Structures are given as structure tokens and as C-alpha cells.
Amino acid sequence: MSDTTQAIVLGLFTLASCIWVGGYVAIAVVARVATGTLDPAQRIAFFRGLGRSYLRVGAPALAVALGTGAVLLGDHGWDGTVLSAVVVALALVAALCVGVVQARRMGRLRSRSVAAPDDLELKRRVQKCARGAALLRAAIGVLSLVLIALGSVLAS
């Protein structure tokens, strides 16, 4: 690959990675503020819109980051670090897919809970599922950070 092509691919990789990680962090900040300022019904509507909007930006950014990362590894031989990066990247994509399904399910569950405020069993289910959702979001964040660390090792 020519130096110019490599610079373009690296620029795209950097931009896409920044969009993915920056968006992930921004959503965490927004979630904290929205929880403290919006009532439950407003939060559901807000996060439904935010999730759909960010998915249209974040998923392509992640795809570009992973694709350009693979291109940048084109001349690198297969070793334990490359294999680890591939496994973590696949786990990240899988976790993201599960997260999208889970977020939609949580939105429906929370909507039912808001519509039936006296249903204590439904409230308990929302709380239990919310803990699982938090763990899944944390896993997506950790996988993203591990992939950045592995990419840094591979780039050096």
C-alpha cells in the first residue's frame, strides 16, 4: 500500500474510532443527565430516538473502524495479538447486536411499566433487566477499550 493510501486509511480509521468511542461516552453522559431531568415517559421517548439516531452513526463508524483496522493489518503477520484483536472485535460486534435487541426490549418493558405504575412485579422486572443492560453496556465499553489497546500494541 502506498504511503498516501495508508495515510488516508489511517485517517478514516482514526475518525471512525473517535466517532464510535466519543459517541459511546457522550451517550453515557446524556443518560446521566436525562435520568435526573426527564420523567420516565419522556426518557423512554428520548432514548428511543437517541438510540435509533446514534445507531445510524455509530454502527457505520464501528464498521469503518473495523474495516480500516483490518486493512492496516494487511501487512502484519498472524500472531497472538492479531488473533486477540479479531476475537475482541467479533465479541464487540456480537455484544452490540445483543445490545440493540436488548435496548428495544427494555424500551417496550419500560413503556409497559409507565402505563401500569402499580404493577410491582413489572417494576421488579424492569430493575432486573436494567442491571443486565448496564452490564452489557459496560461490556461494550470494555471491549472497545481493549480493542483500542490491542490496536495500539499492533501499531507500535
pLDDT tens string 15-40:
999 999 999 899 989 999 998 999 98
Query: pLDDT tens digits, residue range 83-117?
Result: 999 999 999 999 999 999 999 999 999 999 999 99
Q: The domain spanning residue 95 has which CATH number? A: 1.20.120
Distance between CA atoms of residues 112 and 27, nearest Å: 24
Per-residue CA distances from 42 to 55, 71, 155 (Å): 20, 43, 44
Distance between CA atoms of residues 43 and 56, nearest Å: 20
Q: How confident is the model at residue 77 (pLDDT cuts 50, 70, 90)?
A: confident
Q: What is the pLDDT of residue 74?
A: 82
Provide the domain count of the chain. 1
| pTM, entire model | 0.87
Domain extent at residue 71: 3-155
Residue 1: pLDDT over 90: no
Q: How confident is the model at residue 14 (pLDDT cuts 50, 70, 90)?
A: very high
Q: Is 147 exposed, middle or buried (0-12, 13-18, 19+ CB in 10 A)?
A: buried
